[in-house]
Amino acid sequence: MSASPITVASLAAMKARGERIAVLTCYDATFARLLDEAGVDVMLIGDSLGMVLQGHSTTVPVTLDQMVYHTACVTRGASRALVVADLPFMSYATPERALESAARLMQEGGAQMVKLEGGEPYLDTVRLLVTQGVPVCAHLGLQPQSVNQLGGYRFQGRDHASAERIRHDALAMQDAGASLLVLECVPQALAAEIARTLTIPVIGIGAGVECDGQVLVLQDMLGLNPGRAPRFSRNFMAAGGAVREAVDAYISAVREGQFPGPQETAY
């Protein structure tokens, strides 16, 4: 683990060297310090905070003001990891609105990259953001902000048409200038193919072990979710010990290709 700050270029170099990237969500300064000291590469201020912190059933109610607030909390605790912040629901409905929202997340929150959900309809948005100096992480597969349209949290890309759409969108997002891609809840073979094809790092969540890195919601990884844990998650606190030990175990499992295992993977 290098003590140098992680950058977009660092992540690209890790992919080129075949080093897996460890990502966790984070929402406050205390956990940001702990994750930084443990060596997490990327901290994602996810709009998942709407569910794990605020108690909502979806991410849809999360506002831009709330995302700015939590991003600022994390950046006050982070010193090494790259800080990525979600653009919440409807905050990037147009390219111009996306630019205004990203500016707030970066200027007020201190984010170093923003993440948005969606494929081809958002290519112009990605191009505009990148042109204005905003690094972008794309998010394909299961898109939690679209849960009402999808009819629930369902795996994606299992039929030929939807798999082709995800392949197309992944390449298109890279061509538009995205520097990172999250693939959520897609079959392992599809995720592996996309990770091999793209030059940018591909971070999986419920997408198999062959991605360039993995991300989990911090509370799920620590077994703090009182409901049924997502199938793709693992409770790294199950063996006991301290929170830091659980984070260390997660990072090691990602780096060594031991997470996710078959039981956490959709085929």
**b vs e for 45-70, b when ≥16 Cβ sit within 10 Å of the residue's Cβ?**
bbbbbbbbeeeeebbbebebebbbeb
Q: Decide if 185 contacts 144 (C-beta within 8 A).
A: no
Its pTM stands at: 0.96
Q: Annotated binding residue at 212?
A: no
Q: Annotated binding residue at 175?
A: no
pLDDT tens-digit profile of 168-223?
Answer: 999 999 999 999 999 999 999 999 999 999 999 999 999 999 999 999 999 999 99
What pLDDT, on a 0 to 100 scale, did the predictor assign at position 265?
A: 85
pLDDT tens-digit profile of 131-176?
Answer: 999 999 999 999 999 988 877 678 899 999 999 999 999 999 999 9
Query: Pairing state of beta strands 136-141 and 180-184?
Result: parallel
Determine how many CB atoms are found less than 10 A away from the CB of residue 237.
18
Q: Annotated binding residue at 15?
A: no
- The catalytic position among 37, 96, 108, 184 is 184
Q: Annotated binding residue at 162?
A: no
Question: Which among 58, 71, 144 is positioned nearest to 105, based on CA atoms?
Answer: 71
Active site residue 19: no
Give the domains, in start order, of the chain with CATH numbers: 8-264 (3.20.20.60)
What pLDDT, on a 0 to 100 scale, did the predictor assign at position 2?
A: 53
pLDDT tens-digit profile of 75-100?
Answer: 999 999 999 999 999 999 999 999 99
The CA-based angle 54-57-58, given to 5 degrees, is: 90
- What is the Cα gyration radius of the chain? 17
